[in-house]
């Protein structure tokens, strides 16, 4: 007795939603062999995912063009994801990009492998809402025209990006809310990156190469609430940020008031994450911070001589710092060394009352119960709860 095929009795839209959950569109296309009912249903799946190869394997589409042509002209494409083989010819990649510019009304993701020296243009897509490019090591040129529906643009790993990104955001993406660029190069135009956008809310510049000390970063974004500027070229490059709504700031850059400024932002900020390269002028820029993350890079002991002034008792003074609003504190990469303990003593010498304190040790360090108890004795007058990875002390 043949069991009833209840899945095939489902509406086309439901089956297509199921097919969209498969890892690749090729897998969805292979379901056509199940029955006549399933034949061609994949052609209307709203999400496509392909591994683009130099040559199609046996039994697959004979060419990229065949896959494009097979897709229904009436289907609404909401997502297109391409994993491009490193040795794929440029025309095959360009063909997919052209297809996306014509048919896609949603999110587009492209990732490649090794370097492709040829120049490829990213065509304008007026209906794309999100574009994510990963490991784009071919020479990418940003197309002219308007990405009128684009809300988010992420480029992660593109050493040969060509084009003025500032001009792209300022004039070609009127609705862009999120811009993230990590591990990219070639985006500096005429010695500066200049962005002016009324829609931009989140901006991340991380490890952008090619920015020299003479260059300038300029951002004017009245809706910007999140900014991350991390390890971008020469970190002393001038920067001017105009962001009255700024609430979340990650700053791994120099801050010299004569060359760097954060304008119009409130003097109270929700979160501030900085490194030791950021000098005290940045702290003086804000009067109140709800959540602070401070990254300190400690010099190896071998670089500090026995008679170094930093070891003198006078170097371990806080000048009566008041931290009476601080409620929670987390310390990472703790080793239990003498310097770490001295830092805690220095901290507890301030006016401080903590609700919770967490100490996370370095992976190769394990604090004994006695060491944890000693730290709790130091913290107890100033802290209600002290947490370690496996132990918790309460007052």
Q: Is the model's pLDDT at 174 over the cut of 70?
A: yes
Q: Is the model's pLDDT at 220 over the cut of 70?
A: yes
Which pLDDT does position 211 carry in this prediction? 83
- Which phi and psi angles does 210 have, rounded to 5°? 90, 5
Tokens at 21, concatenated = 């959950």
Average pLDDT (164-176) is 88
User: For residues 292 and 51, which has the higher predicted lDDT (pLDDT)?
Assistant: 292
pLDDT tens digit sequence for 337-360: 888 888 888 888 888 889 999 999
Which pLDDT does position 67 carry in this prediction? 56
Which pLDDT does position 254 carry in this prediction? 86
Encode 80-112 in three state secondary structure. EEEEECCCCCHHHHHHHHHHHHHHEEEEEEEEC
| Maximum mean pLDDT: which of 28-32, 108-112, 309-313 | 108-112
Q: Is the model's pLDDT at 303 over the cut of 60?
A: no
The average confidence (pLDDT) of the chain is: 79
Q: Are 251 and 276 in contact (CB under 8 A)?
A: no
User: For residues 359 and 101, which has the higher predicted lDDT (pLDDT)?
Assistant: 359
Q: Are 119 and 162 in contact (CB under 8 A)?
A: yes
Sign of CA dihedral 314, 319, 324, 329: negative
Tokens at 140, concatenated = 């990418």
Q: Are 269 and 288 in contact (CB under 8 A)?
A: yes
Confidence of residue 191 (pLDDT cuts 50, 70, 90): low
Confidence of residue 305 (pLDDT cuts 50, 70, 90): low
User: For residues 186 and 289, which has the higher predicted lDDT (pLDDT)?
Assistant: 289
Q: Which candidate, 88, 144, 80, places its Cα nearest to that of 118?
A: 88
Helix axes 338-348, 369-379, angle to 10 degrees: 20
Q: Is the model's pLDDT at 249 over the cut of 90?
A: yes
Q: Which candidate, 202, 204, 201, places its Cα nearest to that of 193?
A: 204
Q: Is the model's pLDDT at 177 over the cut of 90?
A: yes
Confidence of residue 319 (pLDDT cuts 50, 70, 90): low
Distance CA 165, CA 189 (A): 8
| Maximum mean pLDDT: which of 62-76, 83-97, 158-172, 249-263 | 249-263
pLDDT cut 70: percent of the chain above it: 73
* Residue where the block lists tokens 């994450």: 273
pLDDT tens digit sequence for 115-146: 555 667 778 888 889 988 887 655 666 667 78
Confidence of residue 65 (pLDDT cuts 50, 70, 90): very low
Q: Are 358 and 383 in contact (CB under 8 A)?
A: no
Distance CA 121, CA 162 (A): 9
Q: Are 348 and 318 in contact (CB under 8 A)?
A: no
Q: Is the model's pLDDT at 61 over the cut of 50?
A: no
């Amino acid at each position: 007795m043949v069991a009833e095929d209840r899945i095939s009795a489902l509406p086309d839209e439901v089956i297509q939603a199921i097919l969209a959950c498969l890892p690749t569109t090729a897998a969805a296309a292979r379901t056509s062999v199940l029955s006549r009912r399933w034949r061609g249903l994949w052609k209307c799946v709203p999400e496509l995912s392909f591994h683009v190869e130099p040559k199609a394997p046996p039994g697959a589409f004979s060419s990229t063009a065949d896959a494009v042509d097979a897709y229904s002209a009436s289907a609404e494409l909401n997502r297109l994801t391409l994993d491009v083989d490193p040795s794929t010819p440029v025309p095959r990649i360009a063909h997919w990009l052209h297809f996306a510019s014509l048919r896609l009304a949603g999110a587009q993701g492209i990732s490649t492998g090794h370097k492709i020296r040829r120049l490829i243009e990213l065509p304008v897509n007026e209906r794309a809402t999100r574009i994510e490019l990963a490991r784009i090591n071919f020479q990418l040129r940003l197309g002219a025209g308007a990405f009128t529906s684009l809300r988010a643009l992420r480029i992660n790993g593109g050493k040969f990006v060509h084009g003025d990104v500032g001009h792209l955001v300022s004039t070609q993406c009127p609705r862009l809310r999120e811009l993230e660029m990590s591990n990219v190069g070639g985006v500096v135009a005429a010695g500066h990156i200049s962005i002016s956008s009324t829609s931009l809310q989140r901006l991340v510049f991380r490890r952008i190469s090619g920015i020299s000390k003479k260059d300038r970063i300029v951002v004017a974004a009245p809706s910007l609430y999140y900014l991350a500027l991390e390890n971008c070229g020469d970190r002393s490059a001038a920067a001017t940020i105009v962001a009255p709504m700024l609430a979340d700031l990650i700053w791994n850059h120099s801050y010299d008031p004569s060359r760097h400024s954060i304008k119009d932002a409130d003097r109270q900020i929700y979160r501030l994450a900085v490194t030791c390269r950021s000098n005290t002028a940045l702290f003086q820029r804000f009067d109140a911070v709800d959540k602070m993350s401070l990254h300190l890079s400690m010099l190896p002991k071998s670089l500090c001589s026995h008679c170094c002034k930093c070891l003198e008792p006078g170097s371990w003074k806080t000048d009566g710092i008041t931290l009476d609003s601080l409620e929670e504190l987390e310390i990472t990469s703790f080793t239990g060394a003498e310097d770490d303990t001295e830092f805690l003593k220095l901290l507890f010498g301030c006016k401080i009352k903590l609700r919770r304190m967490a100490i996370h040790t370095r992976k190769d360090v394990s604090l004994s119960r006695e060491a944890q108890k000693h730290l709790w004795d130091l913290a107890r007058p100033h802290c209600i709860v002290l947490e370690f990875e496996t132990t918790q002390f309460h007052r």
